[in-house]
Copies of this chain bind each other. A is one copy, B any other.
């Protein structure tokens, strides 16, 4: 399956503003991209790219005074299969976990595992370890949190989502991660493109957040927000939690003037040359509604 993914963002700054972006496809996609995954900006200013310690490709630049357009557009080859699952994937003893997974047992900024241990064991201590336990956590989070964009805020944590019973996809992920870690299952944050391929039409494409848990000798994708295997998840970044991988980190303020995302299956094109030609014109994805942030 071929998926066209891209975004277009326009911001305006009143002073030169350093930006740190996490808007590229993950470094593991390299050989599955048609076209270029490069970040493009207008007007052109110098950009630096580096790969952070989680393998996420990051971009650094200084936004000039005035408007800045940032966009990217390419085609990704994808298996076309739903998120893999394995009901028999076992949970590892702490002593057997690969050492590089251990850091995903610790509390992090938005996943205060240390505050949730007691609640986690009360809720999930009786569930069978392994896949069923992570699924039980996803079910609980999916069923107890009410989704709503107005329930998001940049500093909202897992403990707060637990108490408030509300959140956006990021909060569903953070709470699930914090609960997994409390049950001694390594869990990490992931984010990327997720459209409505194989699911009921849901309007504009968008970025989404989910998480990965380490079971049966590998990392598996889980998504407490949708709580069903999805097709066409295109990974951009990973980290302990959203603190590591904010899409735009700005060192100074800016106005967001446009924000639109597309992530669509490509049908009826047989050659890469045809696919490349498609990229000559940016698609007409609708702008995501930019709720005016209230100053309260």
A18 contacts chain B at the CB level, 8 A cutoff: yes
Min Cβ gap A159→B in Å is 10
The answer on a CB contact under 8 Å between B151 and A165 is: yes
Q: Which one of A32-40, A67-75, A114-122, A210-218 is at the interface? A: A114-122
Cα A112 to Cα B289 in complex, Å, equals 29
Number of copies of this kind of chain in the complex: 4
A142 contacts chain B at the CB level, 8 A cutoff: no
Interface of A is mostly: mixed
A53 contacts chain B at the CB level, 8 A cutoff: yes
Total interface residues on A, CB under 8 Å, equals 48
Contact string against B for A residues 25-48, beta-carbon threshold 8 Å, 1 for contact and 0 otherwise: 000000000000000000000001
Q: Which residues of B contact A150 (CB under 8 A)?
A: 144, 146, 165
Q: Which residues of B contact A144 (CB under 8 A)?
A: 150
Q: Which residues of B contact A296 (CB under 8 A)?
A: 119, 122-123, 162
Min Cβ gap A295→B in Å is 7
Contact of A109 among B100, B108, B162 (CB under 8 A): B108
Q: Which residues of B contact A112 (CB under 8 A)?
A: 109, 155
A164 contacts chain B at the CB level, 8 A cutoff: yes
Contact of A103 among B102, B115, B119, B244 (CB under 8 A): B244
The answer on a CB contact under 8 Å between A53 and B164 is: no
Enumerate A261-281 residues with CB–CB distance to B below 8 Å. Answer: none
Cα A20 to Cα B105 in complex, Å, equals 11
A106 contacts chain B at the CB level, 8 A cutoff: yes
Q: Which residues of A does B touch, CB under 8 Å?
A: 18, 20, 48, 50, 52-53, 58, 60-62, 93-95, 99-100, 102-103, 105-109, 112, 114-115, 119, 122-123, 144, 146, 148, 150-151, 154-155, 162-166, 184, 243-244, 246, 249, 251, 295-296
**3 tightest A-B CB contacts, nearest first:** A18-B94, A50-B99, A164-B164
